[in-house]
Structure 1
Amino acid sequence: MKIRLIDVNIFIVKHIFRFRFKVASLTRKSRIMNRIISKIVFEGDGTYFVPNYKGMSQENIEVNENVTRTSTIEINKNIQVVDKIVTPTDFIKNILRQSDDIVIMNKCLCRRSEGCDDYPIDLGCIFVGKTTEKISRKHCRQVSADEAIRHIDKCDEAGLIHIMGRNKMDSIWMNVRPGDELLTICNCCPCCCLWRVYPNLSDSIQNDFYKLPGVSVSCDNDKCISCKKCIENCYAKSIRYEDKIIIDEDICIGCGQCTLNCPTNAMQLHYENIDVESVFNKIDSLVKINDR
């Protein structure tokens, strides 16, 4: 039986996954370790947090129901912004519609490694770009843009958020190159996601994680029952409780996990005046998604 490097890597990841917070913390504790880990694991990376539409405020719901605007913006002749951007997830769908090389992983490696009981393990990551041709079909399937979009919808319904961008770590564990031809779209739960390590990472590494411009989160303290689930689920540790919920917007990454797990809908997601062009320009500078 032929053993592929990706199979070995999956085995290794599953057994070292529980140490991810300790490894991430090394980037804060040691300047040398920060340089080494940054070079090996994060070099060239850039990632956006894309929140689930389910957490959006009533005002956004009402506005979105009336949106009919369409636009076309050519970004470096590679990605075009076609169709209306109604919810944050539409950023992802717009890219998928223009992509020919798309695969969906059979399993989410994070939830599989943690043995997740609360969210579907079979809602795996999506990868886009020419490099996907080199990913072992034992662990993924090639799909059309429409099927990938349906997969995103399933992830939204399951209460997952998305993380989209260039992720060197994925090209390493799947043993595929070049990394600048591989776009990662993770579908993340609040309990198992690798990027729960975000607060443990050094500031220099955190700088390559981006909040969608125009996205914000608020708390209606009249509805809040002080259960503090938002604090527990916050990826960035930007929420604290001082007689009421306080959100530090300078730290918040706009992932929206707090809004999805609030039992009274006190936590709400807002987005307005999103700079669509800047987001697609950034993605285009990080990853060569298409040949054109």
Structure 2
Amino acid sequence: MDNPEIIESPMGRMNVDRNGNVLFLDEERLNRKEQPDKPVRRNRPRGLGVKDLLVSCVGAKPVNYGLFTAAFRLLVRCMKRFLRRPGIGRNLFRRVMMVGPVDEPSGYTKGVWLPLDVDLSDHSGSERVPWDLLEQAIRSSTYIGGLNRCICRETFGCSDFPHDMACMFFGRSGEVVVKNGIAERLTPEQALERVARAKGLGLNAEAVHVELEQYVWGLKNQDMEQFLEVCFCCPCCCVAMKFCREGTRDIKDRWTPSGWTATIDQDACIACGSCAPACPQECIGFDEDGVASIDQEHCMGCGYCVAACPASDCIRIRQTMPMRDSIHDYFLAEDGFDLKAGY
């Protein structure tokens, strides 16, 4: 586009025009997400080894899988009760969930969204897409364990997506879930087949490091620097997205895009408002006529608004920021998580 005009919307500065076309890749926004002065996360000391013993005993195994689904249901109820209410209960819940203040060097969740169905209509083909980041991580991993049951879909009895479409774990975390009998070792080709199946089902991928899940999967402290999980999240059951949806802005900002976000063709918008309730980031605003716009600063590219929109091709997932070189780089640059190249 000649002389592109920066669009102002109800949600602030945009780098897309009113038809959802990307005017430029916002490198400044990518740089704003970096925390170069943040200390690199280190594993907590093992101490007397009580925690390591605990997680080894209670980690998810076939015999106690039902206990974890019950715990997940309780967790979601606690989210709704405490996360947005000020006071002792909220602060305690946040500490238990290990999502303390953002300036802490360790102890919180990080997620990077990797949309699998993206708009390539104005993509030259020479640039990479989120699938490439996944393939790179899969092929460089020393070990991949694929769960045989999705704990989130099991927890909430999902009827829209198959329960065997489940997470993958990389490195030492993959070895642990296989040893616990809830996963099988995957070859790189099998892992990529799982990604392709997720795309066919209309699911997106999310690379996450969640400290609380140390207890769920039975990971010892020494294993946490290799803990990388890739989930295939549905909008109805994903506990991480329920946590994001109920959380305050500092919690929502723990989830970031891989460079691809949602854009809206405002001329095609029918002003139905269906997209906003679907957005875990609460980053969709409306003008006086009810026409929607997306705050690119906070959109993470999950695509839930795309699925909720009844207007064909009104919302698309497009590249609006440059991409980093690897999944590892998102964690290191944005949150000081050195998950060790190769996982």
TM-score range for the pair, normalised by the shorter chain length: 0.7 to 0.9
SS of 2:184 mapped into structure 1: strand
Q: How does 1:207-286 map to 2 (within 5 A)?
A: 207-212=253-258, 214-242=259-287, 243-263=290-310, 264-277=312-325, 280-283=328-331, 285-286=337-338
User: Structure 1 residue 289: deviation in Å?
Assistant: 5.4
TM-score normalised according to structure 1 size: 0.79
How many residues of Structure 1 are paired with residues of Structure 2 in the alignment?
A: 266
SS of 2:300 mapped into structure 1: coil
Q: Which has the larger radius of gyration?
A: 2
Q: Which moved more, 1:202-211 or 1:264-273?
A: 202-211
Counterpart in 2 of 1:73?
none
The partner residue of 1:59 within 122, 126, 144 is: 122
Counterpart check, 1:154 vs 2:197: yes
User: Structure 1 residue 5: deviation in Å?
Assistant: 4.5
2:278 alignment partner AA: N
Counterpart in 1 of 2:232?
187
Taking the aligned partners of 1:17 and 1:130, their CA distance within structure 2 comes to 24
Contact 1:163–1:185, Cα closer than 8 Å, also in 2:
yes
Taking the aligned partners of 1:128 and 1:145, their CA distance within structure 2 comes to 11
SS of 1:58 mapped into structure 2: coil
Counterpart in 2 of 1:287?
339
Taking the aligned partners of 1:20 and 1:131, their CA distance within structure 2 comes to 23
Counterpart in 1 of 2:130?
88
Counterpart in 2 of 1:29?
85
Counterpart in 1 of 2:69?
14
The partner residue of 1:118 within 144, 149, 160 is: 160
1:138 alignment partner AA: G
Counterpart in 1 of 2:219?
176
Taking the aligned partners of 1:290 and 1:215, their CA distance within structure 2 comes to 24
User: Structure 1 residue 124: deviation in Å?
Assistant: 0.2
Counterpart check, 1:165 vs 2:208: yes
User: Structure 1 residue 57: deviation in Å?
Assistant: 5.2
Q: 1:258 to 1:51 in 2, by over 3 A?
A: same
1:201 alignment partner AA: G
SS of 1:277 mapped into structure 2: coil
Contact 1:129–1:289, Cα closer than 8 Å, also in 2:
no
Taking the aligned partners of 1:115 and 1:59, their CA distance within structure 2 comes to 39
Taking the aligned partners of 1:17 and 1:45, their CA distance within structure 2 comes to 16
Taking the aligned partners of 2:269 and 2:277, their CA distance within structure 1 comes to 15
SS of 2:214 mapped into structure 1: helix
Which is richer in helix? Answer: 1
The partner residue of 1:138 within 158, 168, 181 is: 181
Deviations 1:216-268 (A, max 9, x none): 32111333334444223222122244421122223322222222443401101
Which ranges of structure 1 fall in alignment gaps of 5 or more residues?
Answer: 68-84
Counterpart in 1 of 2:4?
none
Counterpart in 2 of 1:76?
none
TM-score normalised according to structure 2 size: 0.69
Contact 2:328–2:341, Cα closer than 8 Å, also in 1:
no
Counterpart in 1 of 2:109?
45
Taking the aligned partners of 1:241 and 1:13, their CA distance within structure 2 comes to 40
User: Structure 1 residue 122: deviation in Å?
Assistant: 1.0
2:155 alignment partner AA: S
Taking the aligned partners of 1:265 and 1:277, their CA distance within structure 2 comes to 30
2:317 alignment partner AA: L
Contact 2:143–2:185, Cα closer than 8 Å, also in 1:
yes
2:119 alignment partner AA: M
1:59 alignment partner AA: D
Contact 1:55–1:256, Cα closer than 8 Å, also in 2:
no
Which ranges of structure 2 fall in alignment gaps of 5 or more residues?
Answer: 1-56, 99-106
Contact 1:216–1:271, Cα closer than 8 Å, also in 2:
yes
1:236 alignment partner AA: Q
